[in-house]
Chains A and B, each alone.
Chain A
Amino acid sequence: MFSRDRWLEIFETIKKNKLRTFLSGFTVALGILIFVVLFGFGNGLRNTFEKFFKDDALNTIWLNPSRTSKPYMGYEANRRIEFDNDDMEDIQKRFDFYIEGMTPRITFSGNVGYKLESNNYTVRGVGPSHQKNEMTIMMKGRFLNGLDIENKERNVVIGRLVEQDLFKGEDGIGKFISGGGRSWKVVGVFQDDGGDNEERIIYAPYTTVQLIRKNTDKVDQIVISYKPEIGYAGAVAFENQLKKYMKQKKFIDPTDGRGIRVRSASSDLKENDQFASVLQYIISFVGIGTLLAGIIGISNIMVFVVKERTKELGIRKAIGATPKSIIGMILHEAIFITTISGYFGLLTGIALLNFIGDKLEEEYYITNPSIDISTGIAATILLIAFGAFAGYLPAKRAAQIKPIEALRDE
């Protein structure tokens, strides 16, 4: 079937019908090119999305107190819920199995100074495990440790920009800064990828903060990191049990949506996953749509090509071409053209995506647009197959037409 003569015959036909060849080749190449580029852009969007949302510490749960919205057990609605150190101890006892680390967070803002420099900074009273939750990176010195908490030391860890502001290039480690009428020793400097605001924060031991605040035992927020090995289902179960337990402990109506807010990276993650899968659907839809348009395009052209050649096919039949050789010739030619141009479109598309690279990241949120090579090849093969199929039907019909009818077609 694929003899040298057939090839020569096809090359001759292609050479002498340049417009026709160009049209069908162009349709396929364009179809594949657009498919590759759009699909690549879709993947680029998804890459950006993953970069944005999937970079947090995943095994973290935030407990925030708020006001109740329903009366319960003699308590009125709109009661303000507060957390204290006992709550943390109870949680630790009750859920020891799940918990990897826990820290309170007491946030306030205060004026802090060194020599002549002073400024307003966010101060957080936290425990040692906070470092992990915020993914705080130590540049020098150390983070707060257990002894700081136990002895209520006046040690602080300051952000990179705090050191820059106050010490003007001097090394801050071991120096004393003033705040709230007391002096505090700088034991560490950190950096954070979260941006400038995250580097203008001062961490102090929460026990020290509580001591200064009239020896209170209140905390603003409880941050818990659970053991990653409990998995997503374990995390959801832990979260629900924790919420239930705390509501019970604080006498909050179990049906009250407020009172205690629980936020977790795992529920965020689930939402993000849903969003990502919607994005994936859109990408697939666009891809399939483009391919479909390409398939319709090549089908149209094949029908047109066969129609245009009806008379030629009639002549060929009159001088002895069998229907099989007619169909074979048309398919051979169609597959040859679509394969070459499909491959060309695929290469051009991939080259274009490579060329774009990260140029669109800043403004259009498209990071590293790329396409799985196997997806590209599968799409090309699909288009070739449909092009051949679309050529086969009219070719078969043309081959079955009596030559006398084909020749009458002037």
Chain B
Amino acid sequence: MIKIKDLHKSYKMGSNSLHVLKGINFDVEEGELVAIMGSSGSGKSTLLNILGMLDLLDSGTYELDGVPIKDLDETKAANYRNKFLGFVFQSFNLINYKTALENVTLPLYYQGLKRKDREETALKYLDDVGLKEWATHLPSELSGGQKQRVAIARAMASKPKVLLADEPTGALDSKTSKEVMALIQQINKSGKTILIVTHEEDIAKMCSRIVRLKDGVIMEDKKNKMKSAI
């Protein structure tokens, strides 16, 4: 599903250049639930952003579902993101003046679906995360766990090839974290490829594969016996 070869990325910090990713080689098969671990500054978020086409790579190759991801301009990236990827963020990133349902319909709007189809689809995904009754509520009326579940529903609504989650439990207490992880595992079971960036050992243990990054290189990449969240 994902093929990365010799990926380099550096940031310019004034006159200095900060080399964040120093040659990453990394493949992900369809249906895997991968945890990308590392302390802060290890480059794990940068890797996820490049995978999510939110950021550009300096050198190396990136292939997603057989499509080489290169020469990205913003329009092309936007279309790929809409077609291939679903995002879940630590801070949820819901649009605060839109209801849960409207937030979930948004990616479908950009896919060009008809209004009625959008709402039907969105409601179905909200139902999948158990928030059908909360469809007309604004994000400010939802708990952290509920917000993240809405965000997951939104990410899933566009039927992405890969779900990318950046510290999805970072802003949640441990009980809610487990609930969210259970949802992610459930989605994974249905065959979806999922990548999670985290620095929490327990969260990583709930994944089928753990990749550890340190100082921009992969230190360890091993299969894990997935631990059930609940």
Cβ contact of A318, chosen from B87, B111, B115, cutoff 8 A = B87
Given the known inter-chain contacts A5-B109, A404-B49, please indicate yes or no for A323 contacting B75, CB distance below 8 A: yes
A:295-343 near B, CB below 8 Å: 311-312, 314-325
> B97 contacts A320, CB within 8 Å?
no
Residues of chain A within 8 A (CB-CB) of B82 are 319-320
Residues of chain B within 8 A (CB-CB) of A9 are 109
Q: How far is the CB of A253 from chain B (nearest CB, A)?
A: 84
Cβ contact of B91, chosen from A316, A403, A410, cutoff 8 A = A410
Residues of chain A within 8 A (CB-CB) of B154 are 319
> A320 contacts B98, CB within 8 Å?
no
> B98 contacts A407, CB within 8 Å?
no
The complex places the Cα of A323 from the Cα of B77 at a distance, in Å, of 10
Determine whether B192 belongs to the interface, using a CB cutoff of 8 Å to chain A: no
Max chain B CB contacts within 10 Å: which of A12, A13, A321? A321
Residues of chain A within 8 A (CB-CB) of B56 are 402
List the count of A-B residue pairs having beta carbons below 8 Å apart: 70
Determine whether B107 belongs to the interface, using a CB cutoff of 8 Å to chain A: yes
Q: Nearest chain-B residue to A316 (Cβ)?
A: B106
Max chain B CB contacts within 10 Å: which of A16, A325, A400? A16
The complex places the Cα of A400 from the Cα of B52 at a distance, in Å, of 17
Cβ contact of B115, chosen from A5, A311, A321, cutoff 8 A = A5
Determine whether A8 belongs to the interface, using a CB cutoff of 8 Å to chain B: yes
Determine whether A399 belongs to the interface, using a CB cutoff of 8 Å to chain B: yes
Residues of chain A within 8 A (CB-CB) of B55 are 402, 404
Residues of chain B within 8 A (CB-CB) of A407 are 54, 89, 93
Residues of chain B within 8 A (CB-CB) of A402 are 54-56
Residues of chain A within 8 A (CB-CB) of B109 are 5, 9
Residues of chain B within 8 A (CB-CB) of A324 are 75
> B54 contacts A321, CB within 8 Å?
no
The complex places the Cα of A402 from the Cα of B81 at a distance, in Å, of 13
Determine whether B110 belongs to the interface, using a CB cutoff of 8 Å to chain A: yes
Q: Nearest chain-B residue to A16 (Cβ)?
A: B97
Q: How far is the CB of B170 from chain A (nearest CB, A)?
A: 13
Determine whether A151 belongs to the interface, using a CB cutoff of 8 Å to chain B: no
Residues of chain A within 8 A (CB-CB) of B52 are 318
> A320 contacts B74, CB within 8 Å?
no
Determine whether B102 belongs to the interface, using a CB cutoff of 8 Å to chain A: yes
Determine whether B158 belongs to the interface, using a CB cutoff of 8 Å to chain A: yes
Cβ contact of A320, chosen from B49, B94, B95, B158, cutoff 8 A = B158
Residues of chain A within 8 A (CB-CB) of B74 are 317, 322-323, 399-400
The complex places the Cα of A12 from the Cα of B106 at a distance, in Å, of 13
Q: Per DSSP, are chain A's interface residues mostly helix, strand or loop, or mixed?
A: helix
Residues of chain B within 8 A (CB-CB) of A17 are 97
> A319 contacts B115, CB within 8 Å?
no
Question: 1/0 per position for A368-410, CB-CB distance to B under 8 A?
Answer: 0000000000000000000000000000000110111001001
Q: Nearest chain-A residue to B113 (Cβ)?
A: A5
The complex places the Cα of A321 from the Cα of B95 at a distance, in Å, of 14
Determine whether B78 belongs to the interface, using a CB cutoff of 8 Å to chain A: yes
Q: Nearest chain-A residue to B110 (Cβ)?
A: A320
The complex places the Cα of A12 from the Cα of B78 at a distance, in Å, of 23
The complex places the Cα of A403 from the Cα of B56 at a distance, in Å, of 11
B:128-169 near A, CB below 8 Å: 154-155, 158
Residues of chain B within 8 A (CB-CB) of A320 are 78-79, 81-83, 107, 110-111, 158
Residues of chain B within 8 A (CB-CB) of A314 are 93
Q: Nearest chain-B residue to A317 (Cβ)?
A: B78
Residues of chain B within 8 A (CB-CB) of A404 are 49, 54-55
The complex places the Cα of A325 from the Cα of B74 at a distance, in Å, of 11
> B87 contacts A322, CB within 8 Å?
no
Q: How far is the CB of A131 from chain B (nearest CB, A)?
A: 78
The complex places the Cα of A325 from the Cα of B75 at a distance, in Å, of 9
> A322 contacts B93, CB within 8 Å?
no
Q: How far is the CB of B123 from chain A (nearest CB, A)?
A: 17
> A16 contacts B91, CB within 8 Å?
no
Residues of chain B within 8 A (CB-CB) of A8 are 115
Q: How far is the CB of A306 from chain B (nearest CB, A)?
A: 15
> A315 contacts B110, CB within 8 Å?
no
> B89 contacts A319, CB within 8 Å?
no
Question: 1/0 per position for A1-26, CB-CB distance to B under 8 A?
Answer: 00001001100110011000000000
> B115 contacts A312, CB within 8 Å?
no
The complex places the Cα of A330 from the Cα of B83 at a distance, in Å, of 24
B:56-91 near A, CB below 8 Å: 56, 74-75, 78-79, 81-83, 87, 89, 91
Cβ contact of B78, chosen from A5, A16, A311, A322, cutoff 8 A = A322
> B54 contacts A318, CB within 8 Å?
yes
Residues of chain B within 8 A (CB-CB) of A311 are 93
Residues of chain A within 8 A (CB-CB) of B107 are 319-320
The complex places the Cα of A332 from the Cα of B101 at a distance, in Å, of 24
Residues of chain B within 8 A (CB-CB) of A318 are 52, 54, 81, 87, 93
> A322 contacts B95, CB within 8 Å?
no
> A403 contacts B75, CB within 8 Å?
no
Given the known inter-chain contacts A322-B78, A323-B74, A410-B91, please indicate yes or no for A16 contacting B98, CB distance below 8 A: yes
The complex places the Cα of A402 from the Cα of B46 at a distance, in Å, of 13
The complex places the Cα of A314 from the Cα of B154 at a distance, in Å, of 15
Residues of chain A within 8 A (CB-CB) of B102 are 12
Residues of chain B within 8 A (CB-CB) of A13 are 97
The list of the 6 closest CB pairs from A to B, nearest first, reads A320-B82, A404-B54, A320-B110, A16-B97, A319-B107, A322-B78
Can you give 21 contacting A-B residue pairs, CB < 8 Å? Answer: A5-B115, A12-B98, A312-B95, A314-B93, A316-B106, A318-B52, A319-B81, A319-B87, A319-B107, A319-B110, A320-B79, A320-B81, A320-B83, A321-B78, A322-B110, A402-B55, A403-B54, A404-B49, A404-B54, A407-B89, A410-B91
Residues of B within 8 A of A (CB): 49, 52, 54-56, 74-75, 78-79, 81-83, 87, 89, 91, 93-95, 97-98, 102, 106-107, 109-111, 115, 154-155, 158
